[in-house]
Amino acid sequence: MQSYQSLLKEFLMGRVYDYRTELQYSQERMAEALHISPRSYVDLEHGKYFFSASTFIFFLSVLPEEESLRLLKELREFIERIEQNDSA
């Protein structure tokens, strides 16, 4: 089984791109919003880099409130599914 970190990275990687395009942000604008370098953002979006806690907080703050809540709910459900699979 993959580690939790790699599973979370896969889960969030697609959502970062989806939200960036939905917000109509360039990669540079999203990097600025997350307080990271454009290169770090590209690496994040392509799965070479993972969120730090502060970057994740900035990511949530960029999203509209209802989207942040939805993402957190999806994340909780995702983790619960992983834990259920691990205990089975």
pLDDT tens digits, one per residue of 56-83: 999 999 999 999 999 999 999 988 888 8
* Rounded Cα–Cα distance for residues 28 and 66 (Å): 24
Residue 20 confidence class, pLDDT cut points 50, 70, 90: very high
Domains identified in the chain, total number: 1
**What is the model's pLDDT at position 30?**
95
Range of the domain at 32: 4-87
Residue 16 scores a pLDDT above 70: yes
CATH code where residue 69 lies: 1.10.260.40
* Rounded Cα–Cα distance for residues 83 and 3 (Å): 12
3-state secondary structure of 60: helix
Closest CA relative to residue 78, chosen from 11, 6, 19, 1: 11
Residue 2 scores a pLDDT above 80: no
What is the average per-residue pLDDT within 31-47?
A: 94
